[in-house]
Amino acid sequence: MAKQISGKARVGLIGCGGIAGAHCQGYIDHARKIEVVALADISKENMDARAKQLAGLGGAQRQYADWKDLLEKEGDKLDAVDICLPHHLHRPAIIDAANAGKHILCEKPLCLTLKEADAIGEAVKKAGVTYMSAHNQLFMPCVAEAKKIITSGGIGDVYLVRSQDCFRIHRTREQWGWRATLKTQGGGEYIDTGYHPTYRLFYLAGSEPEAVCANFTRLHCKIEGEDTASVSVRFKNGAIGEILTSWAFPVPTGSYMIHILGDKGEIYGSGSELYWRPEGYAAAARKQLPNVNTFSAEVGHFADCLLEGRRPLHGFEEGGHPRRHQERQGMGEDREGAAGVNGFNVQRATSNCSPNRER
Ligand SMILES: NC(=O)c1ccc[n+]([C@@H]2O[C@H](COP(=O)([O-])OP(=O)(O)OC[C@H]3O[C@@H](n4cnc5c(N)ncnc54)[C@H](O)[C@@H]3O)[C@@H](O)[C@H]2O)c1
């Protein structure tokens, strides 16, 4: 069982690349509650960049080339870890951290396969540590406000939830790095950026998925997996969910990151902008919400959960939830075999993700 934390939570940052830089802004903003005391990465350059970013806080960020050394040598000087590694390393790092009795904040996705998710679940439960899924877009103002409106009955029963995250990326195969291969990425766009619209969809629908149907394709990106996914979900409460996510094109003009229709109205929006049209009103009211740095809010929430012994908004279960849903669409280790699991009707563009579209 992990120890109760008093004072500041002390964190080891494992993986010091791109997204770790965004997390560090959270450690700067919430320095009274949480601090990074050690770094682990195979890249000295990346550790130095994070150390420089956090230098103003006055803490000592001891550096390790191997996260196992960080866990062993930091011992009781560490309460938690923040894992920002490539996808294929999430499972081993989470399990090592849990076995060392450390609380865990881990980037999405939870891991690559359901088998891995089960092993993680066991380790986290056995260790009695807090696991928080780094689902930063739950803190996006339009998502947080929409959830409040739905929960207070503002649009009645939810009938349809749409969730989108699309943008166009131009990169060479080399620039895609570990994201280019199925072995290290665990899929394509859908296990990466596609995780965001998926956990948002579940959060807003407030129900378990019952049936899933998906089409994946690769239109433009030089990667082994898909770069675009269109997914349809039927929830146990009867609501329909739609996910559109892509690295090949932007969000279609006139549509929003989230759009929810209920029997008493609708809400839709993107980022800090939200529209709410109760049934019977001709036009929607527009709400401009205060901007939020979602990564900073996520780190602040992790600190509060550790210091107050609270359960995170999205823990292990919700982290595994999109993974479970994604694997039903053939995104796991056995991509062919996983399609159609549990009797779900799965339609992919082609087997094992499509070849590049002919031009
Ligand atoms: N929430 C978001 O919006 C968002 C955005 C980008 C990335 N992410 C997630 O963050 C994670 C990391 O992505 P990134 O873009 O920062 O990747 P990145 O490649 O920029 O950083 C990964 C870091 O891990 C290090 N690393 C690789 N192998 C290692 C090993 N064996 N031991 C220790 N360190 C090792 C690399 O040197 C690098 O510094 C992924 O899970 C990704 O999905 C989330």
DSSP line for 106-146 = EESSS-SSHHHHHHHHHHHHHHT--EEEE-GGGGSHHHHHH
Binned at pLDDT 50, 70 and 90, residue 328 comes out as low
Give the Å distances, CA to CA, from 297 to 21, 30, 59, 274. 14, 9, 21, 19
Strand pairing category for 9-14 and 80-83: parallel
Q: Which atom of ligand 1 is nearest to the CA of 195?
A: 43
CB neighbours of 129 closer than 8 A, spacing ≥ 6?
2, 97, 98, 101, 102, 103, 104
The pLDDT assigned to 1 comes to: 56
Mean pLDDT of 12-31: 98
The pLDDT assigned to 358 comes to: 41
Mean pLDDT of 299-316: 96
Query: Do residues 336 and 151 make contact, with C-beta atoms less than 8 angstroms apart?
Result: no
Binned at pLDDT 50, 70 and 90, residue 341 comes out as very low
Mean pLDDT of the chain: 90
pLDDT, tens only, 76-107: 999 999 999 999 999 999 999 999 999 999 99
CA–CA gap between residue 26 and residue 296 (Å, rounded): 4
Mean pLDDT of 233-247: 97
Ligand 1 midpoint to CA 148 (Å) = 32
Binned at pLDDT 50, 70 and 90, residue 330 comes out as low
For ligand 1, atom 25, name the residue with the nearest CA.
15
Mutate to test the pocket of ligand 1, among 14, 24, 41 (most ligand atoms within 8 A of CB): 41
Binned at pLDDT 50, 70 and 90, residue 234 comes out as very high
The pLDDT assigned to 355 comes to: 42
* Of the candidates 111, 129, 109, the residue with the CA atom closest to the CA atom of residue 120: 111
Residue 284 pLDDT > 90, yes or no?
Answer: yes
Residue 16 pLDDT > 60, yes or no?
Answer: yes
Q: What CATH number is given for 141-291+328-343 in this structure? A: 3.30.360.10
CB neighbours of 356 closer than 8 A, spacing ≥ 6?
218, 219
Binned at pLDDT 50, 70 and 90, residue 356 comes out as very low
CA–CA gap between residue 207 and residue 217 (Å, rounded): 27
Binned at pLDDT 50, 70 and 90, residue 280 comes out as very high
DSSP state of 343: G
For ligand 1, atom 33, name the residue with the nearest CA.
41
| Domain locations along the chain | 9-136+296-313, 141-291+328-343
Mean pLDDT of 278-295: 97
Question: Which range is least confidently modeled, 65-79, 226-240, 312-326?
Answer: 312-326
Residue 343 pLDDT > 70, yes or no?
Answer: no
What global pTM score does this model have?
0.92
The pLDDT assigned to 323 comes to: 72
Mean pLDDT of 214-240: 96
Ligand 1 midpoint to CA 17 (Å) = 5
Mutate to test the pocket of ligand 1, among 14, 23, 42, 48 (most ligand atoms within 8 A of CB): 42
For ligand 1, atom 6, name the residue with the nearest CA.
19
- Residue tagged 């992790």 (tokens): 302
Residue 354 pLDDT > 50, yes or no?
Answer: no
Percent of the chain residues topping a pLDDT of 70: 90
Edge-to-edge strand list for the sheet holding 9-14: 62-64, 34-40, 9-14, 80-83, 103-107, 131-134
CA–CA gap between residue 92 and residue 69 (Å, rounded): 14
Binned at pLDDT 50, 70 and 90, residue 331 comes out as low
Q: Please state the CATH superfamily assignment of the domain spanning residues 9-136+296-313 in this structure.
A: NAD(P)-binding Rossmann-like Domain (3.40.50.720)
| φ, ψ dihedrals at 146, nearest 5° | -60, -40
Ligand 1 midpoint to CA 15 (Å) = 6
Mean pLDDT of 147-168: 98
Q: Which atom of ligand 1 is nearest to the CA of 136?
A: 1
CA–CA gap between residue 224 and residue 185 (Å, rounded): 9
Residue 182 pLDDT > 60, yes or no?
Answer: yes
Ligand 1 midpoint to CA 73 (Å) = 23
Residues with Cβ within 6 A of ligand 1?
15-20, 40-43, 46, 67, 84-87, 89, 107-108, 136, 177, 192
For ligand 1, atom 1, name the residue with the nearest CA.
136
Ligand 1 midpoint to CA 84 (Å) = 5
Residue 264 pLDDT > 80, yes or no?
Answer: yes
CA–CA gap between residue 321 and residue 309 (Å, rounded): 23
